[in-house]
Structure 1
Amino acid sequence: MTSTGAETTTVASASAVSSADVPDLWFELPPGFMEFDLGEDPESRMLRMADATDSLFAGAAPERKFSLVVSSEYILQTMIAAGAEHVSSCLLRMPGDELSQGTLCVIVERPEAGPRNQDRQGSAKRTAVQWRALYPDAEVGLVMLPYGIAALCIRDQDLQIPGVLFGLDESVPATLRQMQFCVPLKTGPGSALFVFMTQDIDHWAEYVNVLSGIMKSVSADEPRGEDTPEASGPDAGGTERQA
């Protein structure tokens, strides 16, 4: 798998709405990830995605590129409507010069009231129990990240994408594989939900490596600008983000 982005890291952050407007956590995105302005006009966003797809995968069939852009935009709009603090899309070149795309979003959830110092381990365990009940066919567990304990859920989700987006009368079925981490916050009650989705199930193992690097980079401290280690996975560099 080859990243199609710049070979530098990008810092991202995410935060719940607060008077202090201080990011709850930071994380790094590998090359190939393109972050979106949540207030950007959808048409403008789709045009940028189409331009990126054309420049990186000139040899791909037009129908394939069109389907990828439209499906990606539908998922992005769904995540933004759900209250995402961060949304980004990645374009990766798989063996055989095959086009592959995935979407990452981060949603910060804070209760209106609660103790300042939450039981983070208990919170993660409760989330895992809830996910097992909601998604009996999913792979659910607990993982220990450098940031702290988190609940993990991997499952397949069947979607019906509105056919009007493709100029069709009927909806278009799509199966997404989704990995989500619920990370209890250090900054107070609540959690950050990292959700990654892709239709490219054939290359799921490569995406797991990329997501592993992103989650290992999660930190409560703003990066100081030093060079950061590359995420595990082919040609994976990083980009710092806030949550």
Structure 2
Amino acid sequence: MTSTATPIAPVDVPDLWFELPPGFMEFDLAEDSEARVLRMADVADGLFADATPEQKLSLVASSEYILQTMIAAGAEHVSSCLLRMPGDQLSQGTFYVMIERPEAGPRNQDRQGAAKRTAVQWRGLYPDAEVGLVMLPYGISALCIRDQDLLIPGVLLGLDDPVPATVRQVQFCLPLKTGPGSALFVFMTQDIEHWAEYLDVLSGIMKSVSADEPSGERLPEAWVPHRGGTE
């Protein structure tokens, strides 16, 4: 499933655009939680008919928990990735984007310096993580890959105690061309076994990031505009 583009008012110029590949489902962040869970359950039934009820429940519950966490943190875009990996294995991940803008700062920021400062900050915060800089078509980006331990509320799975889970996540912090601030792209999954395959998918997304509006024939199918502030 591909994502559709968000309508834009004439004076509302997006900070950037990016393309989602098949298998990513964008969430309506204003949608009622109960309706969203039921819709995710229907999607899981359709895509993974041979999965056990416990697998489907775990997938939907963990997706909703992470989604609610991202919405509370201010995410402007959240997608769920539902894929079949080699060996016909069920696999799920979550992708989100946040626009971070300082209240004040020069419009023409030193983008390379900003990316380097972010990488230094991440090295201090996450000493066990893989941290570096990568050059994308949009520009330089700080990169951080790390494992994170979560406690998913047991009530989501019909249990009394929280359920521990380890997720691997990659963060790209991409200084904006449109002014001070940056776009934070984050992907996370519990399927660490297929991390290499996910990195290939994410590479395609990040290479698609652009400040320029894509051609009209592709826009309705896959391209997503994102901006800072309130939509």
Q: TM-score under structure 1 normalisation?
A: 0.88
Matched residue of 2:74: which SS?
Answer: coil
Give the equivalent residue in structure 2 for 1:180: 171
1:164 aligns with 2:147: no
Shift of 1:12: 5.2
Correspondence list, 1:185-196, <5 A = 185-196=176-187
Shift of the alpha carbon at 1:10? 4.0
Q: Aligned pair in 2 of structure 1 residues 65, 94: CA closer, same or farther (>3 Å)?
A: same
Amino acid at match of 2:179: G
| Corresponding residue number in structure 1 for 2:224 | 241
Unpaired runs of at least 5, structure 2: 227-231
Mapped to 1, the partners of 2:174 and 2:156 lie a distance apart of 34
**Alignment pair present for 1:110 and 2:93:** no
Question: Which whole-Å CA distance do the structure 2 matches of 1:136 and 1:78 have between them?
Answer: 24
CA distance in 1 between partners of 2:54 and 2:198 (Å): 24
Shift of 1:38: 0.7
CA RMSD of aligned residues (A): 1.8
Distance 2:154 2:224 in 1: 34
Distance 1:12 1:176 in 2: 29
Question: 1:87: which partner in 2?
Answer: 78
Distance 2:130 2:110 in 1: 24
Whose helix proportion is higher, 1 or 2? 2
Is 1:146 aligned to 2:129, yes or no? no
State the distance in 2 between where 1:104 and 1:185 align: 19
1 CA distance for matches of 2:101 and 2:12? 14
Q: Percent identity?
A: 79
| Distance apart, 1:11 and its partner CA | 5.7
1:27 match: 18
Residue 224 of structure 1 corresponds to 215
Q: CA deviation at 1:225?
A: 3.0
The one-letter code of the counterpart of 2:223 is: E
> How far apart in 2 are the matches of 1:189 and 1:199?
33
Q: How far apart are residue 20 of structure 1 and its match?
A: 4.3
Corresponding residue for residue 65 of structure 2: 74
Structure 1 102/186 Cα, relative in aligned 2: closer, same or farther at 3 Å? same
2:198 pairs, out of 207, 218, 232, with 207
Cα deviation code 1:67-105 (max 9, x no counterpart): 010000000000011000100101001122211000000
**Contact 2:17–2:212 (CA<8 Å) still a contact in 1?**
yes
Task: Give the TM-score, by structure 2 length.
Answer: 0.92
- Letter of the structure 1 residue corresponding to residue 54 of structure 2: E
Secondary structure in 1 matching 2:41: helix
Q: Alignment partner for residue 51 of structure 1, among 38, 42, 45?
A: 42
Distance 1:99 1:60 in 2: 8
Q: Is the 8 A contact 1:131 1:140 kept in 2?
A: yes
Distance 1:43 1:153 in 2: 33
The aligned counterpart of 2:229 is none
Distance (whole Å) between structure 2 residues aligned to residue 11 and residue 57 of structure 1: 23
